[in-house]
Amino acid sequence: MRLLNRYFTLLAAYMRVNWHGALEYRANFLFETLLSILEVGMYLFYWKLFFGIAGGVGGASYQQLVALIAFNHCIYAMLDTVMGNHIWDASGLIIKGQFDVLLVQPASPIFQLFFSGAQPLRAVQLITGTAVYFAIIPLTPESLGLYLFGIVAGGVIFGSWLVAIHALTFRFGNYLIVIKLMSVILHFAKKPATIFSGAVRLVLYTVIPAAYLGTVQAEQVMNPEWGTIGALAAVAVVTPFIASLIFRRGMRLYESGNLIGARM
């Protein structure tokens, strides 16, 4: 418990420092807000148009798709808030040799690498996603609980997967494969897993966990099943430990001496 408190305190410090830095560019707040609204509106318009033309999507209602979009948007927003750009470009920092400094710090280098970029101003995206969710889902204690649980569980699973993927940088020495894998999950996560074949769906629930970024949560909002909710919670508990193990194994291959030229 004391260790967790130390890391929460460190995260709060990162957010406080980055908050003051972000306030120097307040126009970014307006830009983030408009971009968030446009992104959500684009997907809502796309699915509304698709439903009008095709008459529906197999295994999903329009209300369920709206919930999927809301969860998807809020999960990304949560990671952007507590990790910032570092959750996306950690591989680049490793390649440039900027991981060296973190190895001699008292706190976990993995925690520092991914959480030192926390950007609290990006929490505005959470407001957009929440507004969309409760615009179509009645506000009840159950729907609110499923919403909060879905965001946290999905964020933990997705964030853990990204940490594990960044660990590939230590082995391959470049981040091209990391970028491609990120593109794949970003592509599939915005679509309901029910529209894909059984083999693809299996991949989306395991190797590339795109289904946990909205599909599973939206299904539980419409038809809650305690077994599925419990399984989702178990996956969220286990994945951070797996990601940490994979990343630490990758760190054994880190040779910063070869990156002096990149740092200069």
Q: What is the pLDDT of residues 140-187, one digit of tens each?
A: 999 999 999 999 999 999 999 999 999 988 888 777 778 888 888 888
pLDDT band at 244 (very low <50, low <70, confident <90, very high): very high
pLDDT at 14: 81
> Is 75 in contact with 240 (CB distance < 8 Å)?
no
Statement: residue 124 has pLDDT above 60: yes
Higher pLDDT, 65 or 180: 65
- pLDDT score, position 134: 92
Q: N- to C-terminal Cα distance for the chain?
A: 41
Residue type, 69: I
Average pLDDT, the chain: 83
| Contact predicate 250/169, CB 8 Å | yes
Judged by average pLDDT, the poorest of 2-11, 152-161, 243-252 is: 2-11
Alpha-helical segments (H) within the chain: 2-22, 27-54, 62-82, 86-95, 100-103, 109-115, 124-136, 141-166, 168-172, 176-189, 198-205, 215-222, 226-251, 260-263
Token pair in block for residue 39:
């992104």
CB 96 within 8 A of CB 259: yes
Percent residues over pLDDT 70 in the chain: 91
Whole-number pLDDT of residue 173:
74
3-state secondary structure of 60: strand
Beta bridge partners of 60: 57
Least confident of 29-43, 58-72, 81-95, 143-157: 29-43
pTM: 0.86
How many angstroms separate the Cα of 252 from the Cα of each of 106, 172, 173, 249, 255?
18, 13, 13, 6, 8
Give mean pLDDT, residues 225-244: 94
Query: What pLDDT was estimated at residue 149?
Result: 96
Examine the pLDDT at 78 and tell me if it is beyond 50.
yes
